[in-house]
Structure 1
Amino acid sequence: MSVLKSGIIDTDVHPWVNGDIKGLLPYLSQSWQKHFDGRYTLPNHALRPPLARASSNRIDEIPPNGGEPGSDPTYVSSQLLDRYNIKHAILSSIQAGKLVSLPNSNEAIALARAFNDFMINEWLTVDPRYKLAACIAVHNPIEAAKEIRRVAQNKSVVAIFMPLFNILMGNQHYHPIYDAAQECGLPIFLHPTGTEGGFSTSLQFAGGVPSTYIERHTSFPQIGMAQLNSLVFEGTFVKFPNLKVVLAEFGYSWLPHVLWRMDQNWRGFRKEIPWITEEPSQIVLDKVRLTSQPVEEPNKNKYLMQIFEMIQAEKTLMFSTDYPHWDNDFPDHTFTSIPEELKQRIFHDTAAEFFSLD
């Protein structure tokens, strides 16, 4: 049963490539096929979900013909898009996000291109409701910018999935990426990759290394806070005024206190960053959007509505399922007690405007 008659936009769906690198071989050159011969799996973080098969995916979503959950685009269409009246589903490959764990930049560049070609040819052609957040290898910004301009020629590519390296996003290292994304009118899409704190090239958590999966998972909002701070105070949105950013699966309840602290410090120390001429909170509200999953719902609806008021949820929040992960949020059980006008914004309108859909 659908939540909205107008349809829903799901801003975070995770497709899967069976066989990992082996499944990408048809999209790699012969020389790269020889390079990866016998080495067909991207590395996994040591701290995995304590579930069956140590997988983050729902085992009840395994396709009828086998393979990993989320690996059959036709099955996902029936299980997710048809069932919940999903008008558009934005695909972001967590597998591709693991490329930040590779110290070899040439490997990451080749695999990012192969992941994108796989998704374009084997997903976008199956159902027009699928849209893609194409992945880039942030190791080499010049090559990443070339890849952005290449995939942008496909109108079903609506964002650029930028796996997070161990360099904060405001750093000039990324400027070629932002220049290309702005030129092509594509938002930057951020999402946890499962590599955080586990590899020398991936970003680290504040305070030290978590010792359990639950610690790692609970600490994800730290990442969103740190990247937001860096983007705003380094002047990224001043240098690239048309750049837009999505924080997917980092939560949203932390945003009010971060905005308050940013504004307070800006008033006290703005001499240090004279290029920021308006309140940081306004920059964030204009340029940044967050996704709903995992839903952070207080035990009283009035508290949720207070959070929504503080973050201007009608403007900043977009619905996502996180399908097919074990903790996904389906639309008929998400934000069931909020006003219909706000629901329309969160489940459809904001994403339609932000990603230039419809």
Structure 2
Amino acid sequence: MTLAHEQHRTPAPETIAVRVVDSDVHPVPRRRELVEYIPEPYRSKHFLSHRVGETIIYDAPDYAHSYAMRVDTFPADGEFPGSDPDLAFRQLIVEAGSDIAILEPTVKATRLPEATQALATGINHWLANHWLDSKNNWHQRWRGSICAAIDDPANAVREIEHWAGHPYMSQILIKAEPRPAWGDPRYDPIWATAVKHDLVVSCHLGRGAYETMPMPPVGFPSYNHDFMVTYSLLAANQIMSLIFDGVFDRFPSLRIVFVEHAFSWILPLMWRMDAIYAARKSHVSIGRKPSEYVKEHIRFTTQPLDYPEDKTELTRAFEWMEADKILLYSSDYPHWTFDDPRWLVKHLPPAARDRVMYKNGIETYHLPEFVPAIEGQRRVL
């Protein structure tokens, strides 16, 4: 395949309108590539005895063969899927038709918040040097995430401040697992810093070690599929905490994106929160219905898209939850659950397609409306 980027790697003078913003793409370090970026003393004290950036915990079909990745995403050199920016560019931008992709590296939580933040710091430097640099982002299609350990607020704030001015860092990336819930004032410095720099805070589901794993009120689940459902419950609890503990009243311009936590459950949750609010309004300090906070401050990614056999029921749910206000398209590349943008548009109500596929993404991440043209790129809309 002959492409312009293989010939001279310079952005074309012509531009095209952004029509697909992918809000969940997973870059992965090559073996031994990340360790050098992790700051001391945690590089030597904690991470040199771990395999950093080489493993994934995931239960899916054909795991033993493909590690739950798309089988065609393995680079020719034998590295892990997501480790080759050029291959990802060809498959995701040129062939699938995404125009801008939000990169979300994985930060595995540790039992030491300071060590988790050290890993996040290393990942930020690695991402800037291996994906967002002029060599690998010559096409200006990649946007990065400032990884931060929410359970280490002081160091997280310093990390956010360090990267906030980077031209290709478009969001702050945290995990939902640390306790207590996000409504606790100890996290206010992180929300304040996000608001200060007008950065959206994105939360990707994660799986750490020991007590850092998500735990329902009745204790740890027995199976991996239980955990997969638990992630949605975790997001629901964080949303309730954000609203009822007044985070959005303290920070009226704060925006939160929940990535890969599913989203169909938000409709009955809004109904339930509104009902409780109506019944106990005199006991609640917030000033609006909870559903109004959700629609103004919270967004969800489309993958995973859970839908019933009767697709008309999904359409009705989209309309009731006002999906055009709260959903962002995501592919989950390079995982086996990859949702091609050309597939997703067929499942969206026509009235919501433009907003879900690109308009909400442009607004949420403050992205440009036009990008340099790419020779041979497929167009979705």
In structure 1, the partner of 2:112 is 104
In structure 2, the partner of 1:122 is 130
In structure 1, the partner of 2:12 is none
Higher relative contact order (CA 8 A, sep 6+): 2
Distance across 2 between alignment mates of 1:29 and 1:332: 42
Contact 1:166 1:202 in 2 (8 A): no
Q: Tell me the TM-score normalized by structure 2.
A: 0.85
Which residue identity lines up with residue 261 of structure 2 in the other structure?
F
Alpha-carbon RMSD across the aligned residues, in angstroms, is 2.2
Distance across 2 between alignment mates of 1:228 and 1:37: 33
Post-superposition Cα deviations, 1:160-188, rounded to whole Å, max 9, x if no partner, equal 11112132111112111111111011111
Distance across 1 between alignment mates of 2:117 and 2:132: 21
In structure 2, the partner of 1:236 is 247
Distance across 1 between alignment mates of 2:204 and 2:219: 21
Distance across 1 between alignment mates of 2:275 and 2:190: 30
In structure 2, the partner of 1:7 is 19
- Superposition map of 1:19-34 within 5 A: 19=31, 22-29=32-39, 31-34=41-44
Alignment partner of 2:212 out of 189, 201, 214: 201
Distance across 2 between alignment mates of 1:298 and 1:13: 26
Judging changes above 3 Å, is the alpha-carbon distance between structure 1 residues 167 and 18 closer, same or farther for their aligned structure 2 residues?
farther
Number of residue equivalences: 346
In structure 1, the partner of 2:229 is 218
Judging changes above 3 Å, is the alpha-carbon distance between structure 1 residues 83 and 47 closer, same or farther for their aligned structure 2 residues?
closer
- Following superposition, the deviation at residue 120 of structure 1 comes to 1.1
Contact 1:166 1:203 in 2 (8 A): no
Judging changes above 3 Å, is the alpha-carbon distance between structure 1 residues 302 and 166 closer, same or farther for their aligned structure 2 residues?
same
State the secondary structure of the residue aligned to 2:212: coil
Which residue identity lines up with residue 234 of structure 1 in the other structure?
D
Distance across 2 between alignment mates of 1:47 and 1:207: 23
- Following superposition, the deviation at residue 337 of structure 1 comes to 4.6
Alignment partner of 2:147 out of 117, 131, 135: 135
Alignment partner of 1:278 out of 288, 299, 311: 288
Q: 336-345 vs 139-148, which deviates more?
A: 336-345
State the secondary structure of the residue aligned to 1:159: strand
Post-superposition Cα deviations, 1:99-155, rounded to whole Å, max 9, x if no partner, equal x2x122332222111100101111112122111122101231011011111111102
In structure 1, the partner of 2:203 is 190
In structure 1, the partner of 2:183 is 170
Distance across 1 between alignment mates of 2:17 and 2:263: 26
Q: 173-182 vs 38-47, which deviates more?
A: 38-47
Distance across 2 between alignment mates of 1:267 and 1:114: 47
State the secondary structure of the residue aligned to 1:133: strand
Structure 1: tracts of 5 or more residues without a match: none
- Following superposition, the deviation at residue 245 of structure 1 comes to 0.2
Contact 2:74 2:80 in 1 (8 A): yes
Contact 2:318 2:349 in 1 (8 A): no
Distance across 1 between alignment mates of 2:349 and 2:99: 21
Distance across 2 between alignment mates of 1:355 and 1:280: 24
Contact 1:11 1:89 in 2 (8 A): yes
In structure 1, the partner of 2:336 is 326
In structure 1, the partner of 2:357 is 347
2:329 matched to 1:316?
no
Contact 2:24 2:103 in 1 (8 A): yes
Judging changes above 3 Å, is the alpha-carbon distance between structure 1 residues 141 and 53 closer, same or farther for their aligned structure 2 residues?
farther
Q: 157-166 vs 40-49, which deviates more?
A: 40-49
Distance across 2 between alignment mates of 1:6 and 1:106: 39
2:99 matched to 1:87?
yes
Distance across 1 between alignment mates of 2:229 and 2:315: 23
2:244 matched to 1:257?
no
- Following superposition, the deviation at residue 339 of structure 1 comes to 4.3
State the secondary structure of the residue aligned to 1:327: coil
Post-superposition Cα deviations, 1:236-276, rounded to whole Å, max 9, x if no partner, equal 000111100001111111111100110110111223322x1
Distance across 1 between alignment mates of 2:58 and 2:22: 28
Judging changes above 3 Å, is the alpha-carbon distance between structure 1 residues 37 and 342 closer, same or farther for their aligned structure 2 residues?
closer
Contact 2:277 2:290 in 1 (8 A): yes
Which residue identity lines up with residue 218 of structure 1 in the other structure?
V
2:314 matched to 1:304?
yes
